[in-house]
Structure 1
Amino acid sequence: MAYSTFGPVLLINAVLSVLLCQVPAALAAEQGGTTEKEFKAWLDYIRTTESQPHFKEFAHKVKQPSTTIVVDLKGTGNFTSIQKAIDSVPFANANPVYIIVKPGVYWEKLQIPATKDFITLQGHGRLKTFVVWNDTAASVNSTYLSASIAVDAQYFAAMNISFQNAVPAPAPGVEGQQGVALRISGDNAVFYGCAFIGHQGTLYDQQGKHYFRDCYIEGSIDFIFGDGRSLYQGCEIHVVPVAGSITAQSRSSATSDSGFVFLNCTISGTGVVYLGRAWGRYSRVVFLYTYMESIIRPEGWQNWGDPTRESTVYYGQYMCYGPGAGTDGRTPWSHALTDEEAKPFLTLDFIQGQSWVPLVIPGLRL
């Protein structure tokens, strides 16, 4: 998929963005705080409450009747707003809810709270159904609050839909211009055939186990970032100016199981980028069987300005190809993986996905 495919939508965004009003400040309180530290503490707390369903309950509940809700801007469905459809899902939901979103550009900021698990958001194709907003870290005083869609629920799925943060490319040296298209903080989430479009900080893979399959991810600076434990399979990663780094994984300890794995992906675009920067001291990112255009810097990886991280990060490649995939010029502290070293990253086992991915999207060919 070429970047130019999204040109008409970007033009619409530029024209209509002036009409958008800011999200109320009360949103921060609903999400558990105004700082990321407060938010993570709140998220950990809410997940320990007895009202939250456990995995075994979900495995049983999927056999129960599901609910289908249709969203259509033209008024032929149950709602004209995706958020209103989400709001209609019962508190402490424990049954599958399918929200079918008809074609259109939905200018709204979406929040799926931790009390509404088992929601599937399904569009009519990522070139036909768009969710768009334009907050920045500066406009809402927080990167994680800038997301066009924020998902705190467990067992969430999105299919055939695009999520975009319409903030323009940041000027060199300007701070606070991170504009997140998706923040995913819930566990056991699947994204299939989706697109994530932005510039700096497009996809905030904050925490939890996630599976991205056949998705398109576009950005420029640290545009796949966070502390998630995620497998990206068959995805196209497209770099746009001003290019900086594809990933900024934030694993903070040697015992953490988080990390980003890119399997059978494609890296395309313009500019010159690092494969990743060491946002976390134990940052972990691996690319396997991935095609890389010549936009990759020869050294591949960057230590975030802290040489001490070079001995603790885990960065690797395995069987990658293309003009940007050569390992001869890579930093000496990255790895050209052996067959044995690559094994833990080649299947859904990395995210324990065999047990939950088929339940989140039944019928998905793994």
Structure 2
Amino acid sequence: MNLHSTSLSFLFAMFTVLASTHITNSNPSFLKYLTHFSLHFFSLSPITATVIAYNSGGHHPQYNRHNNEGKIVTPCEGFSPDFPKDTNTTSYLCVDPNGCCNFTSVQAAVDAVPDFSQNRTIIWINTGVYYEKVTVPRTKTNVTFQGQGFTSTAIAWNDTANSSHGGSFSGSVQVYSTNFVAKNITFMNVAPIPNPGDIGGQAVALRISGDQAAFWGCGFFGAQDTLHDDKGRHYFRDCFIQGSIDFIYGNGKSFYQPKLQLSSARKIKSMNWRFMLEQIYIKENCVLISVANPVHPGSTSITGVITAQGRGSQEENTGFAFTNCIVGGNGRVWLGRAWKPFARVVFAHTSMSDIIAPEGWNDLNDPARDKTIFFGEYNCSGPGANMTMRPPYVIRLSDTQVSPFLNVSFIDGDQWLQPYI
């Protein structure tokens, strides 16, 4: 795990230093090259070679391929989308960067969804990196983005708070509709990593502002403000989330969990290291990876923060609950800071590496918030889970206290969450 997270941090940092807004805006092909490079090394998976083959130079991997009769096979010959079976779905839209489907861009497919549809529309998105800014407006209800794996299908852009007139509008993908679902796809913001304290460098990969949204097997890659969990009830399962400062933030009410139990990761420690990493990060991931600036041994500096929850009053029924997750990466970081006075965040059964500072949390240097924030931990493990240095306002949760945060009832999931199909 240390090898993988270090590789992620180093390569993403190198990538984003090069990917300045000026360079990528003036040279889209350079943005493509850098995104391929980044995604390839993020995943450490051979499957990403398909992404590069699909997009490098605008060529499909089947270009200039000959069949047994010596005839040139075109990219779309024999193309047959593997549409998922979903008995609730009445409409499928297909996106492929080489024109093998109805649409070559994700936004064009979104625009074609009927307004306020009561039936689900699956937008099947083929392997590739889609360089576009995508908005799902509130009128496009019951939409699913179906990728081909989070190391194979990605939507990437490079807006920042400066370039988009506010961090909330910098998202590469912005979702405002209800009942949105994303499966097996990555959301990336490839803007340069800002230094702590930089103004306007926030860069959101995904903003989710609609109610009753679910994300299955998705990746979220960025630095500051990667995932804007803005408002509404949201479910994240088997997701990989990378960032540096406040990289999960907002006033949503969200539940984060893995698919498999962590015990299986321990069983494969003796196996090939690449296979082990793929098992942990692709099949078992509620994984939170910090790419914050590294610190020197003995340093007490803080270089990153995982969560910044925005609950502003006692009446607001919001918060973030993480269970059975893995926290790792670089830097010296807090689990969360009190962005708003009634911030509520819980980590349960979570493995925390030594990147977590001994104090663990921060009240935004406002002691008045100590009486109103709700920062809790329950049965966590690893060197970062040592609670002996935690501030008094951090709660070592009892079985009774943690119970509401351990399953989908926290987000009323029994009322709206559909099974993965």
Calculate the TM-score normalised by the size of structure 2. 0.73
Is 1:89 aligned to 2:113, yes or no?
Answer: yes
CA distance in 1, matches of 2:135, 2:25: 17
Is 1:343 aligned to 2:348, yes or no?
Answer: no
Task: Tell me the secondary structure at the aligned position of residue 147 of structure 1.
Answer: coil
Deviation at 1:93, TM superposition (A): 2.0
CA spacing shift, 1:150–1:339, aligned 2, 3 Å: same
2:142 touches 2:179 (CA, 8 Å); kept in 1?
A: yes
Match of 1:117 among 141, 153, 161: 141
Deviation at 1:172, TM superposition (A): 3.9
2:156 touches 2:172 (CA, 8 Å); kept in 1?
A: yes
Deviation at 1:177, TM superposition (A): 0.5
Task: Tell me the secondary structure at the aligned position of residue 20 of structure 1.
Answer: helix
After superposition, the C-alpha distances for 1:248-294 in whole angstroms (9 at most, x for unaligned) are 00101112110000010000101100010000100000000000000
Deviation at 1:173, TM superposition (A): 3.1
Q: Corresponding residue for 1:230?
A: 254
CA distance in 2, matches of 1:130, 1:174: 27
Match of 1:314 among 344, 357, 374: 374
Deviation at 1:10, TM superposition (A): 8.0
Aligned alpha-carbon RMSD (Å): 2.2
Q: Corresponding residue for 1:69?
A: 93
Structure-to-structure mapping, 1:144-155, within 5 angstroms: 144-155=168-179
Is 1:283 aligned to 2:343, yes or no?
Answer: yes
Gaps of at least 5 residues in structure 1 are: 23-61
CA distance in 2, matches of 1:268, 1:241: 11
CA distance in 1, matches of 2:20, 2:361: 38
Task: Tell me the secondary structure at the aligned position of residue 169 of structure 2.
Answer: helix
CA distance in 2, matches of 1:177, 1:300: 25
CA spacing shift, 1:85–1:91, aligned 2, 3 Å: same
2:241 touches 2:289 (CA, 8 Å); kept in 1?
A: yes
Between the two proteins, the alignment pairs up a number of residues equal to 322
Is 1:165 aligned to 2:189, yes or no?
Answer: yes
Percent pairwise identity: 45
Match of 2:357 among 297, 302, 306: 297
Aligned amino acid, residue 370 of structure 2: E
After superposition, the C-alpha distances for 1:23-59 in whole angstroms (9 at most, x for unaligned) are xxxxxxxxxxxxxxxxxxxxxxxxxxxxxxxxxxxxx
Q: Corresponding residue for 1:175?
A: 199
Calculate the TM-score normalised by the size of structure 1. 0.84
2:17 touches 2:193 (CA, 8 Å); kept in 1?
A: no
Aligned amino acid, residue 130 of structure 1: A
Match of 1:264 among 293, 318, 324: 324
Task: Tell me the secondary structure at the aligned position of residue 91 of structure 1.
Answer: coil
CA spacing shift, 1:65–1:262, aligned 2, 3 Å: closer
CA spacing shift, 1:329–1:137, aligned 2, 3 Å: same
CA spacing shift, 1:266–1:168, aligned 2, 3 Å: same
Q: Corresponding residue for 1:203?
A: 227
Aligned amino acid, residue 238 of structure 1: I
CA distance in 1, matches of 2:388, 2:349: 17
CA spacing shift, 1:99–1:136, aligned 2, 3 Å: same
Higher gyration radius (CA): 2
CA distance in 2, matches of 1:285, 1:74: 43
CA spacing shift, 1:21–1:114, aligned 2, 3 Å: farther
Aligned amino acid, residue 271 of structure 1: G
CA spacing shift, 1:64–1:292, aligned 2, 3 Å: closer
Structure-to-structure mapping, 1:186-201, within 5 angstroms: 186-201=210-225
Q: Corresponding residue for 1:43?
A: none
2:20 touches 2:191 (CA, 8 Å); kept in 1?
A: no
Q: Corresponding residue for 1:221?
A: 245
- After the TM superposition, which segments of 4 or more aligned residues of structure 1 sit over 4 Å from their partners? 5-17, 62-65
2:246 touches 2:306 (CA, 8 Å); kept in 1?
A: yes
Q: Corresponding residue for 1:127?
A: 151
Deviation at 1:20, TM superposition (A): 3.2
CA distance in 1, matches of 2:91, 2:144: 10
Gaps of at least 5 residues in structure 2 are: 28-85, 259-285, 294-302
Aligned amino acid, residue 252 of structure 1: G
CA distance in 2, matches of 1:296, 1:303: 16
CA distance in 2, matches of 1:140, 1:8: 22
Q: Corresponding residue for 1:108?
A: 132
CA spacing shift, 1:290–1:165, aligned 2, 3 Å: same
CA spacing shift, 1:202–1:190, aligned 2, 3 Å: same
Deviation at 1:5, TM superposition (A): 6.0
2:16 touches 2:193 (CA, 8 Å); kept in 1?
A: no
Match of 1:20 among 21, 25, 37: 25
Task: Tell me the secondary structure at the aligned position of residue 383 of structure 2.
Answer: coil
Is 1:239 aligned to 2:290, yes or no?
Answer: yes
CA distance in 2, matches of 1:10, 1:209: 35
Q: Which moved more, 1:316-325 or 1:6-15?
A: 6-15
After superposition, the C-alpha distances for 1:221-242 in whole angstroms (9 at most, x for unaligned) are 0110000000011210000023
